[in-house]
Structure 1
Amino acid sequence: MKEEIISLLKKNKNEFISGEDISSVLGISRAAVWKYMKAIKEAGYNIESVSRKGYKLISSPDLLTFEEISPYLNTHYIGKQIIYFDSIDSTNNEAKKLASSGCLEGTVIISEEQTMGRGRLGRNWVSPKFKGIWMSIVLRPDIEPMNVTKITQVGAAAVLKAIKEQGINAYIKWPNDIILNNKKVCGILTEMSGEINNINYVVMGIGINVNIDKEDFPKDIEEIATSLKIEEGKGIKRKTLVASILNNLEELYDEFINNEDIKTSIDICRENSILIGKTIKIINRSNVIIAEAINLSDDGKLIVKYEDGSIHEVISGEVSIRGLYGYV
């Protein structure tokens, strides 16, 4: 009911709507209206209350609810259902449960906080409350399972485009990290359920350090992690960034699924790569190979030149990439 009242207030923005009208439209008592309005104010909405006039919405908080994100969405299916949590262990875990239960493609699970966030290869991910974007998208692509890794690059391209639309110049560290000032600001974790020739679902988890302060990072990662706020020196509105990511994701994902083409996504990843032209370390468990990153292939593999001059294509999988002397 809170959501319905917020929607009414937004439709009547800059005008008062009486408690009696809210009561009549929603079929609830005046006492219930007062109770919900109190809860809405406590959630951070600035509402002016005037006797005999009613209620007027002055401003909305930067919450990541459907009501706050949807005005900025222009998608057909991604983000049309947003399941919102104040706190959760992991949005990917919840997304996999919902996907297994048959939720629609494009369902987004988003939380203000994760208590057990994780990244690629099981690494922990710091996810403090109200300071980042912690979300997972359920996808049901009709493609060969071997092509699922390409979806990670589609996601990276979508996030990079959205960040650039904020006027922030970022880069992609193949295959799934977004880099700002040589530090990680975003990671993407793609997980799949399927059989040999069939995909049940794909969950794309996206974690972005938006308004995290320097002191929020643990000492062991402060040299490799950053946030948009730290680098830009100002807070970023999270709900518009979420909408921009989902808008870009649907466009690039549809190109991949409908046309079997990821050219646009790969072009974005290639043109904004922080690795191409650099000497890197390719780490596979305890095995480390020194190589030069020279390009991305048209299907998203990293093309490298080994020290003996031979050219190879690297598939992401369980491989980690690092710069020769640091993270990038």
Structure 2
Amino acid sequence: MQSELRKELLDAFTNAGEDYLSGQHLADLIGCSRTAVWKHIEELRKEGFELEAVRKKGYRIVKTPEKITANEIRLGLTTDFIGRNIHYEESVESTQKIAHRFASEEVPEGTVIIAEEQRSGKGRMNRKWYSPKYTGIWMSLILRPNIPLTKAPQLTLLTAVAVVQAIEEFTGLTPEIKWPNDILIKGKKVTGILTELQAEADRVHSIIVGIGINVNQKKEDFPAELLEIASSLYIEKGEPISRAGLIRSIFKQFETLYLLYLEQGFLPIKLLWESYAISIGKVLKARTLTNVIEGKALGITDEGVLMLEDNIGTIHHIYSADIEL
């Protein structure tokens, strides 16, 4: 109940913009006493929100905390269901692990698990994902689409488009996608996406989308072995990025694309994905578990499978591989 009142309070401040809201107006709006409103405002102050109180005018938020708490993300959030239920932790082994547990407990679709730090973050093929504290976005999103198991990988490509669009819109940078789910800026990786399934024999129970974004790391924050291949939005932009603001933008873009996907299928997502893809038309090496295939990237199929044409004209369908440009 307390968290619901806090959500309504933050929604009220979001809708008010720069305007002041009186204690009585807030009490009437969220259905509690003025004393309860004051207590909630004090709790927000403890979290790092700076609220201005002016006699006969009321309250307004003038500064938000540097952390990415659930309340900080909710302030300004415009989605209907993506990110409306947020579980926040300072430090976790992996947001994916928590998301798997939550997904089996029937939490609502759109629930997000987010942490300031992952001690054992992982990427594709169980690779370690470097997730230092207070610098990046480390989160997992729970979805429950009514789709066949075979279509689940399409959600990875959809997520890549949503993240690219959000980064582009929020920072002005120009990210590109390397199949299937790496997001690069000037050839260096800034984002990884990991999609995992909870499923029964004939249907998807839930899809858990893990998103890791290097946001405000400086060069000295990266281990030496990653400097040649990884970067951050801060390094590329030259200035700090609001992590909470970028998260809100990702949620907005994702919800729009997800609803489009559920209504119209994969085709509009496929066209968007190909427009951001760095690899289309280029010669690639695809390292699968069994062999290496070299060929020109023709695009992706209607199912999201990469097509490579080798030097004798044979077209190979790549379902899972490491890609070298």
TM class, shorter-chain normalised? 0.7 to 0.9
2:193 paired residue number: 188
TM-score by length of 1: 0.85
2:218 paired residue number: 213
Within the alignment, does 1:148 sit opposite 2:157 as a pair? no
1:242 paired residue number: 247
Does the 8 Å contact 1:95/1:138 carry over to 2? yes
2:271 paired residue number: 267
Paired residue secondary structure (2:303): coil
- Per-residue deviation, residues 226-262 of structure 1 (Å, max 9, x unmatched): 0011011111111121111111111211222233x12
C-alpha distance 104-4 of structure 1, shift in aligned 2 (>3 A): closer
Letter in 1 for 2:188: K
1:173 paired residue number: 178
- CA positional deviation for 1:196: 2.3
Does the 8 Å contact 1:186/1:209 carry over to 2? yes
CA distance in 2, matches of 1:178, 1:227: 11
Within the candidate set 207, 225, 228, 1:223 is matched to 228
TM-score by length of 2: 0.85
Paired residue secondary structure (2:92): coil
1:204 paired residue number: 209
1:313 paired residue number: 317
- CA positional deviation for 1:14: 6.5
Q: Which runs of 5+ in 2 are unaligned?
A: none
CA distance in 2, matches of 1:198, 1:24: 47
CA distance in 2, matches of 1:250, 1:10: 22
C-alpha distance 273-54 of structure 1, shift in aligned 2 (>3 A): closer
CA distance in 2, matches of 1:215, 1:121: 27
- CA positional deviation for 1:176: 0.7
2:293 paired residue number: 289
CA distance in 1, matches of 2:78, 2:154: 24
- Per-residue deviation, residues 153-172 of structure 1 (Å, max 9, x unmatched): 11111111111112111100
Within the candidate set 126, 129, 133, 1:122 is matched to 126
- Per-residue deviation, residues 185-231 of structure 1 (Å, max 9, x unmatched): 00110000112211111100111111111111111111111001101
CA distance in 2, matches of 1:177, 1:16: 43
CA distance in 1, matches of 2:277, 2:21: 51
Within the candidate set 112, 116, 119, 2:116 is matched to 112
Superposed CA RMSD in Å reads: 3.0
Within the alignment, does 1:64 sit opposite 2:68 as a pair? yes
2:141 paired residue number: 137
CA distance in 2, matches of 1:265, 1:219: 36
- CA positional deviation for 1:118: 0.8
- CA positional deviation for 1:82: 1.2
Letter in 2 for 1:322: E
Paired residue secondary structure (2:195): strand
